[in-house]
Protein backbone atom coordinates (compact mmCIF):
# COMPACT_ATOMS: atom_id res chain seq x y z
CA UNK A 1 0.00 0.00 0.00
CA UNK A 2 1.57 3.26 -0.99
CA UNK A 3 -1.10 5.58 0.32
CA UNK A 4 -0.12 4.94 3.91
CA UNK A 5 1.33 8.08 5.39
CA UNK A 6 3.12 6.21 8.13
CA UNK A 7 3.98 2.53 8.04
CA UNK A 8 5.71 0.96 11.02
CA UNK A 9 6.79 -2.65 10.81
CA UNK A 10 8.01 -5.00 13.52
CA UNK A 11 9.52 -2.32 15.72
CA UNK A 12 11.53 -3.51 18.73
CA UNK A 13 13.09 -1.44 21.49
CA UNK A 14 14.52 -2.80 24.71
CA UNK A 15 15.84 -0.95 27.75
CA UNK A 16 18.00 -3.54 29.50
CA UNK A 17 15.63 -6.38 30.33
CA UNK A 18 12.53 -4.38 29.51
CA UNK A 19 10.87 -4.71 26.13
CA UNK A 20 9.37 -1.23 25.78
CA UNK A 21 8.38 -1.89 22.16
CA UNK A 22 7.74 -5.51 21.26
CA UNK A 23 7.44 -6.36 17.58
CA UNK A 24 5.07 -3.49 17.02
CA UNK A 25 3.43 -2.76 13.66
CA UNK A 26 1.14 0.17 13.08
CA UNK A 27 0.06 2.46 10.25
CA UNK A 28 -1.58 5.78 9.59
CA UNK A 29 -3.81 6.65 6.62
CA UNK A 30 -4.61 10.06 5.14
CA UNK A 31 -7.14 12.12 7.11
CA UNK A 32 -7.21 9.56 9.86
CA UNK A 33 -6.93 9.92 13.61
CA UNK A 34 -5.26 6.84 14.98
CA UNK A 35 -5.20 6.77 18.78
CA UNK A 36 -2.79 4.70 20.82
CA UNK A 37 -4.04 3.90 24.31
CA UNK A 38 -2.60 1.80 27.08
CA UNK A 39 -1.70 1.87 30.77
CA UNK A 40 1.17 3.93 32.12
CA UNK A 41 4.53 2.47 31.17
CA UNK A 42 3.07 0.57 28.23
CA UNK A 43 5.58 2.17 25.88
CA UNK A 44 3.47 4.85 24.22
CA UNK A 45 5.96 7.69 24.56
CA UNK A 46 8.77 5.34 23.61
CA UNK A 47 6.87 4.61 20.39
CA UNK A 48 6.40 8.32 19.60
CA UNK A 49 10.09 8.95 20.28
CA UNK A 50 11.12 6.21 17.87
CA UNK A 51 8.84 7.56 15.17
CA UNK A 52 10.21 11.09 15.45
CA UNK A 53 13.79 9.84 15.75
CA UNK A 54 14.57 10.93 19.28
CA UNK A 55 15.54 7.37 20.15
CA UNK A 56 16.50 4.74 17.63
CA UNK A 57 14.73 1.42 17.30
CA UNK A 58 16.68 -1.80 17.86
CA UNK A 59 14.87 -3.55 15.04
CA UNK A 60 12.12 -2.87 12.55
CA UNK A 61 11.40 -0.31 9.92
CA UNK A 62 9.60 3.01 9.78
CA UNK A 63 8.31 4.36 6.49
CA UNK A 64 6.97 7.86 6.11
CA UNK A 65 5.35 8.95 2.84
CA UNK A 66 6.77 5.82 1.26
CA UNK A 67 10.31 6.65 2.34
CA UNK A 68 12.40 4.60 4.74
CA UNK A 69 13.20 6.97 7.60
CA UNK A 70 14.43 4.38 10.11
CA UNK A 71 17.93 5.79 10.15
CA UNK A 72 17.23 9.51 9.82
CA UNK A 73 17.69 11.85 12.78
CA UNK A 74 15.05 14.06 14.41
CA UNK A 75 15.83 17.08 12.24
CA UNK A 76 15.70 15.17 8.97
CA UNK A 77 12.37 13.58 9.93
CA UNK A 78 10.92 16.92 10.99
CA UNK A 79 11.93 18.40 7.64
CA UNK A 80 10.20 15.59 5.82
CA UNK A 81 7.02 16.60 7.61
CA UNK A 82 6.74 14.81 10.92
CA UNK A 83 5.38 17.26 13.46
CA UNK A 84 5.27 16.20 17.08
CA UNK A 85 4.25 17.59 20.45
CA UNK A 86 5.84 16.50 23.70
CA UNK A 87 4.08 14.81 26.62
CA UNK A 88 5.88 17.29 28.86
CA UNK A 89 5.92 20.67 27.10
CA UNK A 90 9.26 21.47 25.54
CA UNK A 91 9.50 25.13 24.59
CA UNK A 92 12.00 27.99 24.44
CA UNK A 93 11.04 29.28 27.87
CA UNK A 94 12.72 32.69 27.65
CA UNK A 95 11.02 33.52 24.38
CA UNK A 96 7.63 35.06 24.00
CA UNK A 97 4.78 32.89 22.82
CA UNK A 98 4.94 34.47 19.37
CA UNK A 99 8.68 33.95 19.07
CA UNK A 100 8.34 30.25 19.84
CA UNK A 101 6.03 29.95 16.87
CA UNK A 102 8.23 32.18 14.69
CA UNK A 103 10.99 29.65 15.20
CA UNK A 104 8.86 26.99 13.55
CA UNK A 105 7.92 29.34 10.71
CA UNK A 106 11.54 30.21 9.97
CA UNK A 107 12.38 26.50 10.05
CA UNK A 108 9.81 25.91 7.31
CA UNK A 109 11.16 28.87 5.32
CA UNK A 110 14.68 27.53 5.73
CA UNK A 111 15.89 30.98 6.71
CA UNK A 112 17.81 30.06 9.85
CA UNK A 113 21.09 31.04 8.25
CA UNK A 114 19.91 34.54 7.39
CA UNK A 115 22.39 36.51 9.43
CA UNK A 116 21.00 39.98 8.96
CA UNK A 117 17.31 39.55 8.28
CA UNK A 118 15.74 41.04 11.38
CA UNK A 119 13.30 38.90 13.29
CA UNK A 120 11.52 41.88 14.83
CA UNK A 121 10.59 43.60 11.59
CA UNK A 122 9.77 40.51 9.61
CA UNK A 123 6.04 41.09 9.16
CA UNK A 124 5.52 38.00 7.04
CA UNK A 125 7.10 35.80 9.70
CA UNK A 126 5.09 37.45 12.46
CA UNK A 127 1.83 37.28 10.57
CA UNK A 128 2.18 33.65 9.76
CA UNK A 129 3.14 32.81 13.36
CA UNK A 130 0.12 34.80 14.51
CA UNK A 131 -2.12 32.68 12.28
CA UNK A 132 -1.15 29.56 14.21
CA UNK A 133 -1.67 31.30 17.53
CA UNK A 134 -5.16 32.35 16.48
CA UNK A 135 -6.03 28.78 15.59
CA UNK A 136 -5.33 27.61 19.13
CA UNK A 137 -6.74 30.75 20.73
CA UNK A 138 -3.49 32.11 22.12
CA UNK A 139 -3.37 35.30 20.05
CA UNK A 140 -3.96 37.49 23.09
CA UNK A 141 -0.98 35.95 24.84
CA UNK A 142 1.43 36.46 21.92
CA UNK A 143 3.80 38.78 23.79
CA UNK A 144 3.85 36.86 27.04
CA UNK A 145 7.02 35.00 27.97
CA UNK A 146 6.53 31.23 27.56
CA UNK A 147 7.70 30.66 31.13
CA UNK A 148 4.73 32.70 32.37
CA UNK A 149 2.13 30.55 30.67
CA UNK A 150 -0.14 28.22 32.60
CA UNK A 151 0.27 24.52 32.07
CA UNK A 152 -2.70 24.36 29.74
CA UNK A 153 -1.50 27.35 27.72
CA UNK A 154 1.85 25.66 27.21
CA UNK A 155 0.04 22.68 25.76
CA UNK A 156 -1.81 25.06 23.41
CA UNK A 157 1.47 26.69 22.41
CA UNK A 158 2.95 23.27 21.57
CA UNK A 159 0.02 22.76 19.23
CA UNK A 160 0.49 26.21 17.67
CA UNK A 161 4.16 25.45 17.03
CA UNK A 162 3.42 22.15 15.37
CA UNK A 163 0.73 23.80 13.21
CA UNK A 164 3.27 26.34 12.03
CA UNK A 165 5.51 23.49 10.92
CA UNK A 166 2.83 22.50 8.40
CA UNK A 167 3.61 18.82 8.88
CA UNK A 168 2.36 15.96 6.75
CA UNK A 169 1.56 13.95 9.87
CA UNK A 170 0.97 14.94 13.46
CA UNK A 171 2.37 12.92 16.36
CA UNK A 172 0.69 14.08 19.54
CA UNK A 173 1.80 12.68 22.90
CA UNK A 174 -1.07 13.18 25.35
CA UNK A 175 -2.23 16.54 24.01
CA UNK A 176 -5.12 16.71 26.51
CA UNK A 177 -2.99 16.13 29.59
CA UNK A 178 -3.56 18.91 32.10
CA UNK A 179 -5.88 20.88 29.82
CA UNK A 180 -8.91 20.80 32.10
CA UNK A 181 -12.42 19.80 31.02
CA UNK A 182 -13.11 23.01 29.08
CA UNK A 183 -9.73 22.99 27.34
CA UNK A 184 -10.01 19.31 26.41
CA UNK A 185 -13.40 19.89 24.86
CA UNK A 186 -12.12 22.78 22.74
CA UNK A 187 -9.04 20.86 21.69
CA UNK A 188 -11.15 17.81 20.79
CA UNK A 189 -13.22 19.97 18.46
CA UNK A 190 -10.08 21.45 16.96
CA UNK A 191 -8.33 18.12 16.37
CA UNK A 192 -11.45 16.87 14.63
CA UNK A 193 -10.91 19.49 11.91
CA UNK A 194 -7.14 19.18 11.98
CA UNK A 195 -7.24 15.67 10.53
CA UNK A 196 -8.25 17.18 7.19
CA UNK A 197 -4.88 18.90 7.03
CA UNK A 198 -2.81 15.89 7.96
CA UNK A 199 -3.47 12.60 9.73
CA UNK A 200 -2.89 12.36 13.45
CA UNK A 201 -1.24 9.64 15.47
CA UNK A 202 -2.23 10.41 19.02
CA UNK A 203 -1.37 8.97 22.40
CA UNK A 204 -4.12 9.90 24.82
CA UNK A 205 -5.50 8.98 28.22
CA UNK A 206 -8.68 11.01 27.97
CA UNK A 207 -11.13 8.31 26.85
CA UNK A 208 -13.91 10.73 26.00
CA UNK A 209 -11.58 12.44 23.56
CA UNK A 210 -10.29 9.18 22.15
CA UNK A 211 -13.72 7.68 21.64
CA UNK A 212 -15.11 10.79 20.00
CA UNK A 213 -12.12 11.42 17.73
CA UNK A 214 -10.42 8.19 16.76
CA UNK A 215 -11.07 6.40 13.51
CA UNK A 216 -8.97 3.55 14.80
CA UNK A 217 -7.57 2.70 18.19
CA UNK A 218 -4.54 0.58 18.98
CA UNK A 219 -4.25 -0.82 22.47
CA UNK A 220 -0.70 -1.09 23.75
CA UNK A 221 0.18 -3.27 26.73
CA UNK A 222 3.77 -4.06 27.74
CA UNK A 223 5.09 -2.84 24.40
CA UNK A 224 2.74 -5.05 22.38
CA UNK A 225 -0.34 -3.98 20.44
CA UNK A 226 -3.00 -6.36 21.69
CA UNK A 227 -5.61 -5.09 19.23
CA UNK A 228 -6.33 -2.45 16.64
CA UNK A 229 -9.88 -1.62 15.73
CA UNK A 230 -12.74 0.86 15.59
CA UNK A 231 -14.08 2.58 18.67
CA UNK A 232 -16.91 0.05 18.92
CA UNK A 233 -14.58 -2.91 18.55
CA UNK A 234 -12.23 -1.67 21.24
CA UNK A 235 -15.06 -0.81 23.59
CA UNK A 236 -16.50 -4.28 23.34
CA UNK A 237 -13.29 -6.24 23.50
CA UNK A 238 -13.04 -8.29 26.67
CA UNK A 239 -9.23 -8.38 26.62
CA UNK A 240 -9.04 -4.61 26.44
CA UNK A 241 -11.53 -4.18 29.25
CA UNK A 242 -9.48 -6.48 31.39
CA UNK A 243 -6.09 -5.01 30.48
CA UNK A 244 -6.98 -1.40 30.45
CA UNK A 245 -10.46 -0.01 30.55
CA UNK A 246 -11.37 -2.00 33.63
CA UNK A 247 -8.66 -0.27 35.60
CA UNK A 248 -9.63 3.18 34.47
Partner 1 sequence: MLNLTREQLLNGAVVSTLLVLSALALFLDEPFYITLVTKVTILAMAGVGLNLALGLGGMVSFGHAAFFGIGGYVTGILASHALNEELLFTAFGFAVFGTTNMLFIWLFAVLISALAAALIGYFSLRTQGVYFIMITLAFAQMIYYFSIAWPAYGGEDGLSIYQRNQFFSINTLDPLSFFAICFSLLLAVIFLVSRLKNSHFGNALQAARQNEQRLAAVGIRPFGIKLTAFVISAMITALAGALFADLNRFVSPGMFSWHTSGEIMIFVLLGGVGRLFGPVIGAGLFILFEYYLGGVTEHWMLFLGVMLLTVVLFARGGIVGVLAGEVKHD
Ligand X SMILES: Nc1ncnc2c1ncn2[C@@H]1O[C@H](COP(=O)(O)OP(=O)(O)O)[C@@H](O)[C@H]1O
Examine residue 15 and tell whether it contacts ligand X (CB under 6 A). yes
CB of 50 to ligand X, least distance (A): 10
Neighbouring CB atoms inside 10 A of 248's CB total 9
Nearer to Mg ion, 34 or 44 (CB): 44
The span from the CA of 229 to the CA of 106, in Å, is 39
The residue within the footprint of partner 1, chosen from 16, 17, 113, 182 (CB under 8 A), is 113
The residue within the footprint of Mg ion, chosen from 45, 165, 184, 188 (CB under 5 A), is 45
Measuring CA to CA, how many Å separate 198 from each of 9, 52, 170?
21, 16, 7
Annotate 128-160 with b (16+ C-beta within 10 A) or e (fewer): bbbebbebbbbeebbeeebeebeebbbbbbbbb
The span from the CA of 95 to the CA of 192, in Å, is 30
Q: Are 220 and 42 in contact (CB under 8 A)?
A: yes
Interacting stretch for partner 1, rule CB under 8 A, among 5-13, 75-83, 148-156, 216-224?
Answer: 75-83
The span from the CA of 156 to the CA of 138, in Å, is 7
The span from the CA of 127 to the CA of 134, in Å, is 10
The residue within the footprint of partner 1, chosen from 3, 116, 182, 193 (CB under 8 A), is 116
Q: Are 195 and 32 in contact (CB under 8 A)?
A: yes
Nearer to ligand X, 15 or 71 (CB): 15
- The 23-62 site mask, x for binding ligand X (CB under 6 A), equals ---------------x-xxxxxxx----------------
CB of 232 to partner 1, least distance (A): 35
Residues near partner 1 (CB under 8 A), total: 41
Nearer to partner 1, 52 or 202 (CB): 52
CB of 201 to partner 1, least distance (A): 15
- Kindly list the residues in this chain that would bind Mg ion in the complex (CB under 5 A): 44-45, 87
- Kindly list the residues in this chain that would bind ligand X in the complex (CB under 6 A): 15, 18, 20, 38, 40-46
Amino acid sequence: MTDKILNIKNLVKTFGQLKATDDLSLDLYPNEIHAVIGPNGAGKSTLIKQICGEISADQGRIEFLGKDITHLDVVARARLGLGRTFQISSLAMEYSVLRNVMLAVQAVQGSSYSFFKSIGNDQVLRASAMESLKEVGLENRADVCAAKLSHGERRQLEIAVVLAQQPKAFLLDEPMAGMGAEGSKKLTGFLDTLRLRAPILMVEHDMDAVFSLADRISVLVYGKIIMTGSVAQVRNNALVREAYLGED
